[in-house]
């Protein structure tokens, strides 16, 4: 049955590929080029293919293939280090909007998960969905205690649907890697694995709730960002109950201006929030598209952002933070040799890589960017170009850095839509340099000592026995070495005695031969 379902799904996929003339792209590869003439028999080749660009056709095909393919396309669009620019731009336009499923079904899912009638949990529950996406949909509700909340409910049978489509996508990826020469560069199996991991993470709403709680703690004392409260007692793996927020969508520029918001400060705070997440918290919201960002109406002169949808987050270790910080500073100083040296030092490039070659490649893609006014220079584009160059030198860019680059592009676009003349480097540069200064010097050393002191104090009682064991091991090794040396010395002396005996016998024999020869000639 599984094979039959897969076959029907493949037939539908092939029909949609033909409809948007994607077969022209496939048959245009070197492997299928002898069959290129087939596209002329596709009636859509003469209509759709002439009206849309390659990227637009791919985007429209994914939209027709269904919500999971749309979600996959959104995730793939973040891999701009692997995709052609025109395709990446079009995929980033994919909108994860699908028709809602029945509110009665959502209600029954909630009742089954909470093992209680809906009226025992909510004073009111709106069966009309507020929003609907490929993975889940959201309903407005009121708790018995009077708090206004939203309830996020996973779609029924969504895991089965995702398993089916991921299995199919992975099959197609394997075929591509086997028969398509360029697939080694695009790494389709790796991309589909990342898509699968992201989708499966989003299926666990408890995980999303934990992400929201972490972000809320990080900004608990901040006026820049507000994160809604999670009501854990009502949450399950397929249900998330969260405080309902009210604000102006950040993409509604005209409404923000009419409300009298300080647009320059609002744009600046967007950049500050992002870099605070990166360098202070090492934990960042990685799905900050405009649909997930609102602005509180309470104080237009001192604006506060509100974010929702915490299914995708990223985290950085200290090495990632340092990589980003030092590379950005070196880039803006146009110190390309330093950028190359940093890649060698952090182990991203093989030690035998020629720094001058890598430096030249970075300069070639960076100089055109810096020909623009500094206020127009994009951090995200810089990271993107760096990743593309790094890929040519066989560096595997880590997924968390790709998420960061994608989020940075979104934040830059948002900030420039709010305040077109905002100097991004002037806003972010001081934060990055401040963080780097904290990582070096006496204060940084003392801070690391302070942070590790509890662990050291816990390990301290074990130190005498550990030292004794090390000394014992050292003593045993020394005795073995002395024995080996003694054996070796005895062996050497024995060889020397044997050589002397051999030399004596050889000398005696030679002397006897010479004496015999003399005696023979004398006689």
- Just list the catalytic residues: 287
Neighbours of 422 (CB within 10 A): 19
CB contact set of 84 (below 8 Å; sequence gap of 6+) = 55
Contacts of residue 133, Cβ cutoff 8 Å, sequence gap at least 6: 67, 96, 97, 98
Rounded CA-CA distance 167/206 in Å is 25
Of 461, 384, 377, 462, nearest in space to 416 by CA: 377
Handedness of CA 354, 355, 359, 362 (dihedral sign): positive
- Answer left, alpha or beta for residue 353, where phi above 0 means left and psi between -120 and 50 means alpha: beta
Pick from 369, 347, 346, 344: nearest CA to 358: 344
Task: Yes or no: say if 40 and 28 are a contact pair by the CB < 8 Å rule.
Answer: no
Rounded to whole angstroms, how far apart are CA atoms 259 and 261?
6
Distance of CA 172 to the CA centre of its chain: 23
Residue 78 and residue 403 in contact, taking contact as beta carbons nearer than 8 Å: yes
Q: How far is CA 87 from the centre of its chain?
A: 19
Q: How many residues does the chain have?
A: 523
> Under DSSP, is residue 98 helix (H, G, I), strand (E, B) or coil?
coil
């Amino acid at each position: 049955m599984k094979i039959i379902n897969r076959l029907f799904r493949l037939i539908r996929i092939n029909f949609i590929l033909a409809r948007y003339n994607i077969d022209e792209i496939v048959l245009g590869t070197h492997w299928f080029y002898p069959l290129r003439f087939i596209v002329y028999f596709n009636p859509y080749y003469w209509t759709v293919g002439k009206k849309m660009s390659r990227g637009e056709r791919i985007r429209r095909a994914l939209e027709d293939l269904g919500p999971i393919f749309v979600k996959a396309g959104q995730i793939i669009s973040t891999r701009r280090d692997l995709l052609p620019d025109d395709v990446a731009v079009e995929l980033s336009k994919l909108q994860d909007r699908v028709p809602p499923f029945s509110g009665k079904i959502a209600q029954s899912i909630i009742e089954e998960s909470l093992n209680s009638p809906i009226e025992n949990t909510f004073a009111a529950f709106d069966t009309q969905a507020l929003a609907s996406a490929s993975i889940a949909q959201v309903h407005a509700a009121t708790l018995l205690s009077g708090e206004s909340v939203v309830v996020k409910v996973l779609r029924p049978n969504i895991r089965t649907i995702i398993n089916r489509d991921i299995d199919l996508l992975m099959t197609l990826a394997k075929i591509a890697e086997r028969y398509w020469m360029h697939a080694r560069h695009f790494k389709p199996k790796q991309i589909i694995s990342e898509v699968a991991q992201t989708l499966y993470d989003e299926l666990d709403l408890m995980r999303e709730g934990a992400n929201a709680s972490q972000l809320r703690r990080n900004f608990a004392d901040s006026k820049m960002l507000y994160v809604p409260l999670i009501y854990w007692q009502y949450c399950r793996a397929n249900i998330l109950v969260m405080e309902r927020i009210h604000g102006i969508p950040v993409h509604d520029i005209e409404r923000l201006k009419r409300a009298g918001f300080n647009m320059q400060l609002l744009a600046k705070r967007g950049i500050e929030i992002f870099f605070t997440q990166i360098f202070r918290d090492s934990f960042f919201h990685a799905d900050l598209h405009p649909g997930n960002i609102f602005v509180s109406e309470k104080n237009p002169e001192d604006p506060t952002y509100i974010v929702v949808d915490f299914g995708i987050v990223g985290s950085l270790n200290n090495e990632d933070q340092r990589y980003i910080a030092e590379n950005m500073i070196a880039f803006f100083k146009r110190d390309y040799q330093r950028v190359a040296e940093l890649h060698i030092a952090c182990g991203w490039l093989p030690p035998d890589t020629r720094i001058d070659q890598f430096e030249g490649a970075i300069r070639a893609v960076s100089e055109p960017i810096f020909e623009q006014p500094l206020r127009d220079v994009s951090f995200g584009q810089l990271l993107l170009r760096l990743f593309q160059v790094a890929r040519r030198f066989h560096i595997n860019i880590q997924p968390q850095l790709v998420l960061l680059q994608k989020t940075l592009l979104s934040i830059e676009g948002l900030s420039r839509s709010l305040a077109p003349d905002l100097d991004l480097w002037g806003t972010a540069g001081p934060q990055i340099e401040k963080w780097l200064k904290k990582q070096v010097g006496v204060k940084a050393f003392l801070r690391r000592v302070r942070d590790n002191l509890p662990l050291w104090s816990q390990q301290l009682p074990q130190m005498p026995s550990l030292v004794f064991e090390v000394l014992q091991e050292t003593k045993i090794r020394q005795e073995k070495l002395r024995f080996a040396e003694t054996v070796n010395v005895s062996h050497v002396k024995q060889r020397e005695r044997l050589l002397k005996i051999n030399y004596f016998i050889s000398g005696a024999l030679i002397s006897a031969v010479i004496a015999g020869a003399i005696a023979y000639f004398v006689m």
